[in-house]
Structure 1
Amino acid sequence: MRFQGIKVNVITGFLGAGKTTVIKNLLAGVPQHEKWAVLVNEFGEVGIDGDLLKQDGVAIKQVPGGCLCCVASAAFSVGLNELIKQAQPDRIVIEPTGIGHPHQIVEQLSADHYRDVLDIRGTVCLMDARNLSDPRYLGHPAFFDQIDDADVLIGSKADLYDDSQEQRFLDFAKQFAASKSVIALSSNGEFDPAWLDLPRVDHNSHHDHDHDHDHDHDHDHDHDHDHDHDHDHDHDHDHDHNHNHAKVFKSQPAAGVTCYLKRDQGMVSVGWIAESNWSIDDERFEQFLALINSFPSFWRLKGVLRLENHFESINITQGECRRSLQDECSGSRFECIFADDESFDEKLKEIQKLLF
């Protein structure tokens, strides 16, 4: 039984950056003599990406309910330890929540009890350069925390950029060059597997760069956001249990449908798991999409839904809509993420009225 020297990569990126696509492409090319595993830590309680990443011969462990403030949770540790002991992989790829701070994950992986077990390799950050003109992204601390902490910085979805967006990414990335092993553009989820074996660099020191580079947004960002806080709470994620920061509620808006609502650090996720007999007709689904896109607080919709005559895989942000046919599933599983505000409860009533 081998436990020593399991290579580990953390692949970060803000909501909609394309992490799942890149990881799927990497899993499709796992060397024949190697065994890989994936640990997915999502913000919401439903758990979406684990199902989307399923690949023959790859162990997937999904840990929903990732806290924005920290990942020092029992669920994360248990999931990681199960992968180590049961899958005995050569490499573990960790996909954190898109609105979390990756620094704590690497600190947890560096704990003494993993010293002879894990071989921490370069951390990757994917960023969609089209969001450099969106103050919501530039104003979110996690956006820059992910960039700061990365050894490999990738402008993802470059196939969708125009020339000015490509140049803007390259200009923006220059300020981070001193702490990056690779800065590159990626189209259609392409990623050089050799980048995964680049060494992990010490990112504990302050970076001397200007976060306001090339935009007018007044971004007052503290590099040490939560990095030095001693979060010692146990996130067992029993539903209806209030964590020190996160609040999670469970309800049943319709027969065979369970809704999970989570509020944490100014963000809210609402996810639904519906049995196979639930579906939404095409017209109401289009109305649902129009409704959530009309809310300035909307960040992302992701999951698999049963429409009238088929299942669809959906991944939607305010700036992008990706929909594709999905093979028959046992039911629907989808999640929306919003910025939390005092009007959200009313918005949720509108959403659920359309859905159910």
Structure 2
Amino acid sequence: MLQSVPIHIFSGFLGSGKTTLLKKTLDYYTESGKKPVVIMNEIGEINLDGMIIGEEVPMAEMLSGCICCTIRGDLSMAIKNLYTEHQPDVIFIESTGIANPMEIMEGVTDASLLMPVVLKSIVTVVDAPHLLSLSQKPRRKTSALMKEQIRCASLVILNKADKVSTEELDELDRLIRAWNPFALIEITVYCQLDLQILESLNDLPAGRTVEEKCKAACGSEQGQACDHRHAAPDDKAHHHHHTHDHVIAYTHYFNRPIDLDKFEEVIRSLPQQVYRAKGIVQTTDGESTMHHLFQYAYRELEFMNLRIKPKVAVQNVAVFIGENFSKDDVIQALDKI
């Protein structure tokens, strides 16, 4: 009997730590002598997170859209191409932070009709302080999406635990268990955990598939279809409504090296509605050009010097993702740098 290749979906809202987890996971599997491949999805025009993935790991990029809607039809083909070309031991899909994992599963199911692959888990990474904030002051669409991502998970990683108190962690644990009593919960900082847990997720109990676990978490009765929307009671939208249609992604290209101090000042003054920003910006000391990878999530900014081979062309670019923010205001601020 032909051995099926396991597929793991990494889900989680913007800035939760999915790429950090993916990098650690790929290193773990590679060092264990296994061959992973990865599909990375960005809502923007450039896959910045993919630049930190080692060249030894085959990767497919799905850009300018969300897997669960505008480019879902391409997902099964991306899986097929990676499987055919590289014969991997395991496939990882990192979805954009606004994706509904249940709808991603449809693309994986399509792929399973073409080749021996099987969905083994959905791993949802949760930003602890962000979930705490939403639990205290819900935003209907964002809260509904995060609940959806948690409800469908086989494993929930409650990340950034150092940013909340022990009592708040207990509160979040109870909330997650109320939404999904079937998932394993791991509490982490920088997604640091024993990655052997992913191996155990390859052995789901007989008769309990990922789909069945999600249906049980939804409260659907046996044999009854679940629409997996979990909308608020006053939501009268049709089933094709997506919970992230309020999300804005803006990609800004710089045409010259910038002043890093001024750029940091702009980033730290971004409106609250900008949840996530990331990019590679160029600076110069008059003699040489330097590149800096930056990550911004929920008011926290981090820079990392990026060593790039001379033959590799690198964009001078920043991507901003959030809810209903003014792109014009962001553009005006960046143009003044």
Bucket of the pairwise TM-score, normalised by the shorter protein: 0.7 to 0.9
Distance 1:335 1:351 in 2: 14
1:79 corresponds in structure 2 to: 78
Distance 2:98 2:49 in 1: 15
Distance 2:59 2:11 in 1: 17
2:201 paired with 1:221: no
2:227 corresponds in structure 1 to: none
2:167 corresponds in structure 1 to: 164
Correspondences of 1:76-115 after superposition (within 5 Å):
76-111=75-110, 113-114=112-113
Distance 1:153 1:126 in 2: 6
2:191 paired with 1:189: yes
Distance 1:225 1:152 in 2: 31
Distance 2:262 2:28 in 1: 39
Assess if the C-alpha contact under 8 Å between 1:137 and 1:143 holds in 2: no
Q: 1:19 to 1:32 in 2, by over 3 A?
A: same
Task: State the shift of 1:348 in Å.
Answer: 3.9
2:218 corresponds in structure 1 to: 207
Residues paired across the two proteins, number: 304
Q: Give structure 1 stretches of 5+ with no counterpart.
A: 210-218, 232-244, 246-263
Assess if the C-alpha contact under 8 Å between 1:9 and 1:121 holds in 2: yes
Task: State the shift of 1:161 in Å.
Answer: 3.3
Q: Which amino acid aligns with 2:215?
A: N
Q: 1:177 to 1:289 in 2, by over 3 A?
A: closer
1:47 corresponds in structure 2 to: 47
1:257 corresponds in structure 2 to: none
Give the match's secondary structure for 1:307: strand
When normalised by structure 2's length, the TM-score is 0.79
2:320 paired with 1:336: yes
2:280 corresponds in structure 1 to: 304
Distance 2:112 2:175 in 1: 38
Give the match's secondary structure for 2:126: strand
| Structure 1 residues 171-222: Cα deviation after superposition (integer angstroms, max 9, x where no partner) | 2223135221x1121122223333324124311346359xxxxxxxxx9637
Distance 1:279 1:10 in 2: 37
Q: 1:153 aligns with which of 141, 153, 156?
A: 156
Assess if the C-alpha contact under 8 Å between 1:305 and 1:312 holds in 2: yes
Q: 1:266 aligns with which of 246, 255, 267?
A: 246
Q: Which amino acid aligns with 2:332?
A: E
Assess if the C-alpha contact under 8 Å between 2:159 and 2:189 holds in 1: yes
Q: Which amino acid aligns with 2:323?
A: A
Assess if the C-alpha contact under 8 Å between 1:123 and 1:152 holds in 2: yes
Q: Give structure 2 stretches of 5+ with no counterpart.
A: 221-229
Give the match's secondary structure for 1:280: coil
Give the match's secondary structure for 1:175: helix
Assess if the C-alpha contact under 8 Å between 1:18 and 1:189 holds in 2: yes
Q: Which amino acid aligns with 1:17?
A: S
Q: Which amino acid aligns with 1:188?
A: Y
1:61 corresponds in structure 2 to: 60
Q: 1:4 to 1:70 in 2, by over 3 A?
A: farther
Q: Which amino acid aligns with 1:63?
A: M
Correspondences of 1:312-351 after superposition (within 5 Å):
312-328=292-308, 330-331=313-314, 332-340=316-324, 344-351=326-333
Assess if the C-alpha contact under 8 Å between 2:67 and 2:75 holds in 1: no
Assess if the C-alpha contact under 8 Å between 2:14 and 2:276 holds in 1: yes
Assess if the C-alpha contact under 8 Å between 2:292 and 2:306 holds in 1: yes
Q: 1:282 aligns with which of 254, 260, 269?
A: 260
Task: State the shift of 1:107 in Å.
Answer: 2.0
Task: State the shift of 1:291 in Å.
Answer: 3.6
Q: 1:64 to 1:120 in 2, by over 3 A?
A: same
Give the match's secondary structure for 1:337: strand
RMSD: 3.2
1:36 corresponds in structure 2 to: 36
Distance 1:112 1:336 in 2: 32
Distance 2:117 2:261 in 1: 50
Distance 2:123 2:236 in 1: 19
Distance 2:106 2:172 in 1: 28
Q: Which amino acid aligns with 1:207?
A: C
Assess if the C-alpha contact under 8 Å between 2:68 and 2:104 holds in 1: no
Assess if the C-alpha contact under 8 Å between 2:280 and 2:317 holds in 1: yes
Assess if the C-alpha contact under 8 Å between 1:15 and 1:99 holds in 2: yes
Distance 2:251 2:231 in 1: 31
1:236 corresponds in structure 2 to: none
1:241 corresponds in structure 2 to: none
Correspondences of 1:229-268 after superposition (within 5 Å):
229=240, 265-268=245-248
Assess if the C-alpha contact under 8 Å between 1:131 and 1:137 holds in 2: no
Assess if the C-alpha contact under 8 Å between 1:70 and 1:101 holds in 2: no
Q: Percent identity?
A: 23
Task: State the shift of 1:225 in Å.
Answer: 11
